[in-house]
């Protein structure tokens, strides 16, 4: 247990936030009002709590956790059970933002019934308020919507298609593929999706699709004309151990901060500078006096005295 986490402490509790809860309909209302939607990924209690308390509107438990948290080369390996585990941690932290869980590769690629059954687990067992699925899976979006499961679509560069795409490449670069992307976006919006992530597409394509849709687009590597923006938390704060993609802006250097803190701690331990006397617990004066007066009162117990 961390002694800095005091049970019942609501000092900076997100419950005290003055903001109203973000819901899927609230995102559509933000689009209507021209209010940009801020979104970030989070995968654990501490970062999700910071993200939520910073006023981010949508927290995505992204399958990018396969790479940035679990160290895999791509997003394909992460399982439903692993995604549920992280979604639960995020759920415990978030009070205001909409919590969206990514459906991992393989969990919605069979029948619609299987996809719905897996999606139900994210709402029922982990407290997600919506699921995100990649690709123009119109029938599945409809089935999820009919099952009362809010859906966020994900089009353009869909990382779960890395092998089909032959790598992570910007999509919709030709007139035909822009038209196809627009048709796909309209189709999944028509099937009930509440928002669509547009990833790795030219700004012009994202702008045209955003203008056509009644539901919000949330861009990542899709330019500034989307209704909202999302980034991977670890990219934002430099915890990725790799040069950032063109669309990433680093707002902080947690990598440097953590490295320096850990190195200082190790040095202090090695030089016996940590912990100090002030960071130690002490016996009360009467107990110390009693022990000093009768050092051998308890057989077999040796009392160490300060020199």
Catalytic residue among 199, 204, 267, 278: 199
Minimum CB separation from ligand KIV for residue 158, in Å? 8
Q: Are 232 and 221 a contacting pair, CB within 8 Å?
A: no
How far is 57 from 38, CA to CA, in rounded Å?
5
Residues near ligand KIV (CB under 6 A) are 41, 60, 62-64, 102, 154, 197, 199, 220, 230, 232
SS3 content of the chain, % helix, strand, coil (to 5): 40, 10, 45
243 DSSP 8-state letter = P
Contact 168, 159 (CB under 8 A): yes
State yes or no: cis peptide before 169, omega within 30 of 0. Answer: no
Instruction: Please report how close the Cβ of residue 235 comes to ligand KIV at its closest, in angstroms.
Output: 9
Contact 225, 249 (CB under 8 A): no
CA distance 80 to 94: 21
Task: Quote the least distance from Cβ 159 to ligand KIV, whole Å.
Answer: 7
121 or 132, CB closer to ligand KIV? 132
Q: Which of 172, 161, 162, 214 has its CA nearest to residue 190?
A: 214
Find the shortest distance in angstroms from Cβ 154 to ligand KIV. 6
Query: By C-beta, is 76 or 291 nearer to ligand KIV?
Result: 76
CB-based burial label for 223 (10 Å; 0-12, 13-18, 19+):
middle
CA angle 54/65/81 to nearest 5° reads 110
Q: How far is the CB of 197 from ligand KIV (least distance, A)?
A: 5
For residues 83 and 104, what is the distance between their CA atoms, to the nearest angstrom? 7
Smaller CB separation from ligand KIV, 49 or 229? 229
Using CB atoms, what's the residue nearest to ligand KIV?
62
Lookup result for tokens 């459906």 = 103
Please, are residues 157 and 165 in contact by the beta-carbon 8 Å criterion? yes
Least distance from ligand KIV to the Cβ atom of residue 127, Å: 18
Phi, psi of 125 (to 5 degrees): -100, -15
199 is catalytic: yes
Q: Kindly list the catalytic residues.
A: 199
């Amino acid at each position: 247990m961390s002694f800095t986490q005091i049970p019942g402490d609501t000092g900076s509790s997100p419950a005290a936030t003055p903001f109203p809860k973000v819901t899927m309909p609230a995102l559509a209302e933000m689009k209507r009002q021209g209010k940009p939607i801020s979104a970030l990924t989070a995968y654990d209690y501490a970062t999700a709590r910071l993200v939520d308390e910073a006023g981010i509107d949508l927290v995505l438990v992204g399958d990018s956790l396969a790479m940035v948290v679990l160290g895999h080369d791509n997003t394909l390996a992460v399982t439903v059970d692993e995604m549920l585990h992280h979604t639960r941690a995020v759920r415990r932290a978030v009070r205001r933002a909409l919590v969206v869980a990514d459906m991992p590769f393989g969990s919605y690629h069979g029948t619609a019934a299987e996809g719905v059954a897996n999606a139900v687990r994210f709402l029922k067992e982990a407290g997600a308020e919506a699921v995100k699925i990649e690709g123009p899976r119109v029938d599945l979006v409809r089935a999820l919507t009919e099952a009362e499961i809010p859906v966020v679509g994900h089009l353009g560069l869909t990382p779960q298609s890395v092998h089909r795409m032959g790598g992570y490449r910007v999509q919709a670069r030709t007139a035909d593929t822009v038209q196809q992307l627009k048709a796909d976006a309209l189709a999944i919006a028509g099937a009930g999706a509440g928002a669509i992530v547009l990833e790795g597409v030219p700004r012009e394509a994202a702008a045209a699709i955003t203008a056509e849709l009644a539901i919000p687009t949330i861009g990542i590597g899709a330019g500034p004309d989307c209704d909202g923006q999302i980034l991977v938390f670890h990219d934002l704060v430099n915890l990725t151990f790799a040069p950032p993609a063109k669309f990433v802006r680093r707002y902080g250097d947690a990598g440097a901060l953590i490295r320096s803190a850990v190195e200082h701690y190790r040095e202090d331990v090695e030089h016996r500078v940590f912990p100090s006397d002030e960071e130690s617990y002490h016996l009360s004066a009467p107990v110390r006096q009693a022990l000093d007066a009768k050092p051998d009162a308890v057989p077999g117990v040796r009392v160490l005295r300060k020199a």
